[in-house]
Amino acid sequence: MQTLIENVNIINPDDELKANQNILIEGKYIKEISSGKINTKENVKVIDGNNNYVLPGFIDCHTHILAKGFHKEENMANPLAIHFYNAVPHSRQTIDAGVTTIRDCGSADYGVKLAQQRGLFTAPKMEVCITPLVMTGGHFDLMLFSGFDMEIMYPGFPKGRCDGVSEVLKKTREVKRAGADFIKVMCSGGVLTTNTSPEFSQFNLDELKTIVGEAKNTNSKVSAHCHSLEGINKCIDAGFSSIEHGTFIDRKTSQKMVENDVTLVPTLLVHQYLYEHGFPAWDNYADEKMAKLKEVVKVHKENIKVAYEEGVNIVMGTDSGVIPHGHNLKELVNLVDIGMTPKQVISAGTVKAAEFLGKDDIGFIDEGKCADMIFLEKNPLVDIEILTNPDNICAVIQDGREVKN
């Protein structure tokens, strides 16, 4: 099956804008791009591009596609099936926002990824960690003071809690067995968990090195949820590939990240959104969460700006799932606020994100690449905020198929 898209302007962030182009898609891939006439088969589907601007489909490197706020009360009240059905509207919202690939940092299991691959529902392509590793009493250890454990559990979704070298080794193997593409570790406290605080590091260096060592046996990257400065430094020393959030990072640690080729996924949007919108009135832990959030918001953007100035590799991630899905590209405006140019922020969500995931077939519009692309009537290089409203994204193509029109 061939699709010919005529009369579009192609924006690849690391290239010059190419005006008045035609794109021929065959199956999942881009077969030809030309400013002239393209020879096609007789049954080609022709789409008038209407002089739209075409960008690569965005890649959100930090989402939770099944999650809806991580409220313990909902985990307790809802049947397990609701946990999975949440993926259907969340995925549609994510696609409509212009995101065609995600890195799920805890919620989606291998079955959800497989369902997307088999076309059972419209969703971004996924890289999954299954469940994060968490120490006893750490961030996302959901055992309450009452003794009730609010962690979702079912076959194929290992429990994340582990302590000591032998347990973290076994848990790393368990999540790989369950289908994890990468390993995620909760390396500091967080906002949402009641018995932890973001400034405290979690897991010791021996445990972290054990996780990384085991992950290397399968060429798997290891990612750290980490706000804590001490925690970030331990993760760098242990050989982690990325730091998620990075709230309390400083200039010296930023330089250390550059030297060790560690990527930063700042997720600036999530803290800003929660600070502005708060938590539901029925959330029994809302006041405690808001108190921690205020401390994070004070310094997060300023510290990430320091990291950018020092040359840390930054890719786009939103933590959607903690906040409502479908706002993903609002993160781009936050990245502009720290000093990045429109081209740089688009690159952070496309080319650089693809490189970080080790994917050479997405993140760029070119012959031989996957036909993942989004269409806009106006040029986002002139006004990046155009991308923040899903209504401005006229169409989305994923693997050569129209998933939004």
Confidence of residue 42 (pLDDT cuts 50, 70, 90): confident
Mean pLDDT of 378-400: 97
Q: What is the pLDDT of residues 46-56, one digit of tens each?
A: 999 999 999 99
pLDDT value at 87 more than 90: yes
d(CA 356, CA 354): 5
Average confidence (pLDDT) over 7-29:
97
Is residue 244 predicted with pLDDT exceeding 90? yes
CATH 2.30.40.10 maps onto the chain at 2-57+363-404
In DSSP notation, 193-230 reads: -TT--TTSB-S-HHHHHHHHHHHHTTT--EEEEE--HH
* φ, ψ at 395 (rounded to 5°): -150, 155
Residue 195's pLDDT band, with cuts at 50, 70 and 90, is confident
Residue 261 binned pLDDT confidence (cut-offs 50, 70, 90): very high
pLDDT band at 108 (very low <50, low <70, confident <90, very high): very high
Distance CA 8, CA 227 (A): 42
Tens digits of per-residue pLDDT, 114-167? 999 999 999 999 999 999 999 999 999 988 888 888 888 899 999 999 999 999
Q: What is the pLDDT of residues 281-316, one digit of tens each?
A: 778 788 888 988 998 999 999 999 999 999 999 999
Is residue 365 scored above 80 in pLDDT? Answer: yes
| Whether CATH 1.20.1050.10 fits 2-57+363-404 | no
For position 329, what pLDDT does the model report?
A: 98
More confident residue, 41 or 118: 118
Q: Residues spanned by CATH 3.20.20.140 within the chain?
A: 58-357
Indicate if the pLDDT at residue 73 is higher than 80. no
pLDDT (0 to 100) of residue 75? 79
pLDDT of residue 74: 79
CA distance to 347, 387, 389, per residue, from 342 (Å)? 8, 11, 16
* Cβ atoms 16, 9 nearer than 8 A: no
Among residues of the chain, what percentage have pLDDT more than 70?
100
Q: What is the pLDDT of residue 289?
A: 87
The C-alpha atoms of residue 167 and residue 150 are separated, in whole angstroms, by 21
As assigned by CATH, the class of the 58-357 domain is alpha beta
Q: Residue 98: pLDDT above 90?
A: yes
Tell me how far CA of residue 11 lies from CA of 3, 54, 265, in angstroms.
19, 6, 23
